[in-house]
Amino acid sequence: MGKIILYLSSILVLIITSPAQAMTCGHFNTLGGTANTVDQALNSPATEAQAAEFKEIIASHVGDLAFNSFSAKAKALQFVRKNNQLTMLLRESLAMTRAFCIDRINDPVKNVAIEQFDYLLDAIVKKQSEDWGSFEHLSAIASNLNKTLPMMVDKITECFVVTPLDHELDFSYRVTTLEAAQINIDANDLKNERTNYACSHPDIRPLIDRGISMRYSYFDKNRKFVISALIRKSDCNP
State whether 114 and 171 are in the same domain.
no
State whether 53 and 106 are in the same domain.
yes
How many distinct structural domains can be found in the chain? 2
Q: Give how far Cα 14 sits from Cα of 4, 155, 186, Å.
A: 15, 75, 69
Cα angle, residue 139 at apex, residues 136 and 143 outer, rounded to 5°: 145
Q: Could you say which of 103, 132, 161 is where a domain stops?
A: 132
Q: Give the domain range for residue 47.
A: 21-132
Q: Give how far Cα 11 sits from Cα of 5, 15, 19, Å.
A: 10, 6, 14
pTM: 0.51
Distance of CA 182 to the CA centre of its chain: 44
State whether 148 and 209 are in the same domain.
yes
Q: Exposed, middle or buried by CB within 10 Å (0-12, 13-18, 19+), for 9?
A: exposed
Tens-binned pLDDT, residue by residue, of the chain (238 aa): 444 444 434 433 333 334 446 899 989 988 877 777 888 877 788 889 999 999 999 999 888 887 776 677 777 788 788 778 888 888 889 988 998 888 889 999 999 999 999 888 888 767 666 667 777 788 888 999 999 999 999 999 999 999 998 889 999 999 999 999 999 999 999 999 999 999 999 989 988 988 899 999 999 999 999 999 999 999 998 6
